[in-house]
Structures are given as C-alpha cells and as structure tokens.
Amino acid sequence: MKRTADLHIHTTFSDGCDTPEEVVALAIKKELSAIAITDHDMIEGIDPAVQAAEGIGLEVIAGVELSTNLGGADIHILGYCFDIRHPMMTECLQKFQDVRVRRVGQIAQKLTELGMEISAEEILGLAGSDAVGRPHVAQAMVNRGYVRTTHQAFDQYIAEGKSAYIPKFKQTPQDAIALIRQAGGVAVMAHPMETHRDELIPGLVEVGLQGLEVYYPNTPKKLIEFYERIADKHGLIKTGGSDTHGKFREYSPLGIARVDYAVVEALKAASTTTMTND
C-alpha cells in the first residue's frame, strides 16, 4: 500500500476541534502513514500525539504554523522536523501566546464598552489553551446571543477596521523562517494559493525558505501545477495537507489533501536536528 502523509493539521491546542489523540485515531482510520501537528504558534499538541501514536504504525512529525505579516498581508510559515525543546523556539512561542491572551482581553474590553459584556476568561475557556484568537471571541459572541453567526461577529465587530478590532502581534516571514531554521527545522510557505503574494517567494527563498505547500484542499489542478512549477524553479520541497480544523472546517477533513511519504523523507533530510519526534 502506498504510504501517504497529511502535513497540515490543527488540534484543540489551537483552533481545531479534535484533540491530538482524536487526530491520531482518525489518521489511522484514514490509513495515513504520517501526520504533522501544525497548530498556530503552539507546539503543545505534538507530545500527546506522539504518545498516542506509539506502537500503532503512525509517524508524528513535529510541526507548527507561525503567523506573520508583511506589508499588511498575512503570511503563514509552516515549520517541520525541528527540535521542539529548542530554547529559542519555546521562548518565542511563549511570547506569542502571551500576546494572544493580552489581545483577547483588549478585544473583550472593547466589546464590553459597546454593550456586549464578555470576559477574557470566558473566551479563554472556549479556546482551552493560550492559543486563543478571534474565532474564539466570535464563538463567545454567538453563545451570548450578541450575533447570530461567527461570520457576523467578524463582519460587524472584530475584523480589521471594525469597532472592536485590535491589531495582532507583527512577526515577519523572515523572522519565522529564521526561528524555524535556528531550531533545526524546515521552513515552508503555507497555502500560497490563499495568500496571493507569490512575488515574495524568491526573496523568502534567499533568506532560507525551503518548501512550498503545493497540495491543498479544493485547489484546481491548474493552480496546483502552477505552484509545482514555482517550487521546482526554486528547488523547494513540495508539501501538502488538509489544513483540517475538524468540524470547524467541514470542507477540509483530515486526509483530503495528502502527499507521498517521500515528502516526509525530504523534510527529514533537510532538517539539521537529530530530533525527528517520531
């Protein structure tokens, strides 16, 4: 049987609805050979997944999805096969989490001033971790009956430029790439077909970008082929994954986008750490 991997997975440690243990169980059902836990600015879900996968024929790759911004554009950088205990990595991720918590408190205060009483503690309870963000704020607003849907919460109150918006922490893609490489990992640009900033790719390659997420859910074949050519032109590893968030994004279930296991081997070969976390 062909060995395949899903290299873009979110858990309850960020904004997914499945625990790491549930992700592992589902990956076995989907007959995947390897997965990467890539929570937003969090790595706490990796160890539980590794432990759950012991002895059952599933390899868990260390991953993370770092949020960055350049020129007003949100660009996400995936990191793979890094040392999850690296001091610089753990220190920076803790800083990002502290900023997330502080930002949510500021948004909650703005909403309260607008007559929608919501506490930061309530929002953190929905997140279940410090990887808290505006989706959790939106859900709290729905729960309280202030809006009908999370989309309405964004459109009317918490999207950029709206009355309860608070800017998020600004890290550049170059910073994220440097952090991943410093921890021995492999830096990959996430879902370029959604980012729409292809002109940045050559410059990011110059500062250490090593891969491009080419295979992504609901992407037309011609667009996949377009990014395959860009990756080949720059000698980038072509990765892919479902970007699953469980039931929060039902159109991208685990395993809907997967890559050959050879991609996992390429990531390991490009990594400079001896810790593969498998």
Task: Assign residue 34 the CATH number of its domain.
Answer: 3.20.20.140
State how far the alpha carbon of 276 is from the alpha carbons of 84, 114, 218, 238, in Å.
9, 48, 30, 19
Q: Per the domain annotation, does 37 fall within a domain?
A: yes
SS3 80: strand
Same domain, 154 and 196: no
Residues of the chain with pLDDT > 90, as a percent, come to: 78
| Dist. CA 145–CA 149, nearest whole Å | 9
Q: Which band of pLDDT confidence, cut at 50, 70 and 90, is reported for residue 278?
A: very low
Reported as a single tens digit per residue, the pLDDT across 185-195 is: 999 999 999 99
- Same domain, yes or no: 44 and 103: no
Give, in order, the Cα–Cα distances in Å from 94 to each of 89, 90, 101, 102, 267: 9, 6, 11, 12, 25
Pair 122, 245 in one domain: no
262 is a domain residue: yes
Inside any domain, residue 142: yes
Structure tokens at 112: 């309260």
Identify whether residues 152 and 181 lie together within a single domain: no
Judge contact between 267 and 81, C-beta under 8 A: yes
On whether residue 131 sits in a domain, the answer given is: yes
Cα–Cα distance for residue pair 47/139, rounded to 1 Å: 28
C-alpha distances out from residue 64 to 41, 162, 187, Å: 6, 29, 10
Average pLDDT value for the chain:
93
In a domain, 179, yes or no: yes
Q: CATH number of the domain that 153 lies in?
A: 1.10.150
Kindly state whether residue 232 falls inside one of the protein's structural domains: yes
Residue 10 and residue 144 in one domain? no
Q: Are residues 133 and 192 in the same domain?
A: no
Tens digits of residue pLDDT in 227-243: 999 999 999 999 999 99
Place of tokens 């009908």: 148
For residue range 117-170, list pLDDT tens digits in order: 999 999 988 877 667 888 889 999 999 999 999 889 999 999 888 999 998 777
Residues 218 and 99 in one domain: no
In this structure, the answer to whether residues 185 and 76 fall within a common structural domain is yes
- 116 and 219 fall within a common domain: no
CB 37 within 8 A of CB 22: no
Q: Do both 190 and 80 map to the same domain? A: yes
Structural domains in the chain (count): 2
Backbone angles phi, psi at 109, to 5 degrees: -65, -40
For residue 137, give its domain range.
93-158
- Tell me if 168 is assigned to some domain: no
Q: Does 237 reside within a domain?
A: yes
Same domain, 105 and 243: no
Cα–Cα distances (Å) from 151 to 125, 137, 142, 221, in that order, read 20, 11, 10, 29
Determine phi and psi for 180, rounding to 5 degrees. -65, -45
- Mean local confidence (pLDDT), 74-96: 95
pTM for this one?
0.88
